Structure 1
Amino acid sequence: MTTTIEDLQTICHRLPATTEDIKWDVHLCFNVGGKMFLLTTPDDVPPTATFKVTPEQFEQLIGQPGFRPASHLARYYWVHIDDVGRLSVARWEQLIRESYRLVAEKLPLKARRVLGV
């Protein structure tokens, strides 16, 4: 079964204090503490996504088909995938949790406590 934007949305909303909004008119974004951890473009065919990874994951992923450094965000180790359906829901769960963790751990301690992250 092909992974959908709705699958990603479900994964994101299982994480504490996740919010979603539309940025730049076309991107469905998922945030923690006001900081984005997943950016999707649901109206693209196929739908695409951009997310934060570790430096090691960055090097590994950009060498795989369908992945590339994310425009304007690559220097912060964000990658872009050209089709969310390339990955299983289980793999997406791992990647989204990691992106969430990387973003949440950079929030100020007070914000993390308030959000419960």
Structure 2
Amino acid sequence: MNIKQAKALCRTFPGATEDTKWGADLVFSVGAKMFAVTELDDKAKGISFKVEDDRFLELTDRPGIIPAPYLARVKWVHVEDLKTLSDIEAKELLTRSYELVFGKLTKKLQREIQG
């Protein structure tokens, strides 16, 4: 999976929004809570996203995956090049990031997003 495909996937999640923050970062959110961050440039290779607490150490022990700058304390990882993950694993991790963030929203907001 490349960044263009990852961005397209993030756009398919119910209630997902995107905006530019910090000058050059594309941020994907649900209910105003971030679930993925990458560069605006489609030539970028890296992406950051939330993972489950028990997967954080496992993933950051792998080459090419580091604790996300500024967000590692809340269990975010940064994949330096998406090609280090299979397409299936990248899709699963991005989907799970969305689900983790969505699950923390209020029940009312979850219902509004689900329609």
Does TM-score exceed 0.5, indicating one fold?
Answer: yes
Residue 75 of structure 2 aligns with which residue? Answer: 77
Residue 116 of structure 1 aligns with which residue? Answer: 114
- CA distance in 1: counterparts of 2:55 and 2:23, whole angstroms: 29
The SS at the match of 1:25 is coil
| Superposed CA offset, 1:9-41 (max 9, x none) | 121122111111111111111111111100012
Q: How far is 1:45 from its partner?
A: 6.2
How has the CA–CA distance of structure 1 residues 67 and 83 changed in structure 2, closer, same or farther, with 3 Å as cutoff? Answer: same
Letter in 2 for 1:77: K
User: 1:46–1:82: 8 Å Cα contact kept in structure 2?
Assistant: no
User: 2:3–2:44: 8 Å Cα contact kept in structure 1?
Assistant: no
Match of 1:96 among 88, 91, 94: 94
Percent pairwise identity: 39
How has the CA–CA distance of structure 1 residues 44 and 97 changed in structure 2, closer, same or farther, with 3 Å as cutoff? Answer: closer
Structure 2 unaligned regions, length at least 5:
none
Aligned residues: 115
Residue 24 of structure 2 aligns with which residue? Answer: 26
Q: How far is 1:73 from its partner?
A: 0.9
How has the CA–CA distance of structure 1 residues 38 and 60 changed in structure 2, closer, same or farther, with 3 Å as cutoff? Answer: same
Structure 1 unaligned regions, length at least 5:
none
How has the CA–CA distance of structure 1 residues 43 and 69 changed in structure 2, closer, same or farther, with 3 Å as cutoff? Answer: same
TM-score (normalizing by structure 2): 0.91
TM-score (normalizing by structure 1): 0.89
What do you get for the CA RMSD once the two structures are aligned? Answer: 1.7
Structure with the higher fraction of residues in helix conformation: 2
- CA distance in 1: counterparts of 2:2 and 2:102, whole angstroms: 24
Q: How far is 1:89 from its partner?
A: 2.1
User: 1:51–1:79: 8 Å Cα contact kept in structure 2?
Assistant: yes
- CA distance in 2: counterparts of 1:97 and 1:16, whole angstroms: 11
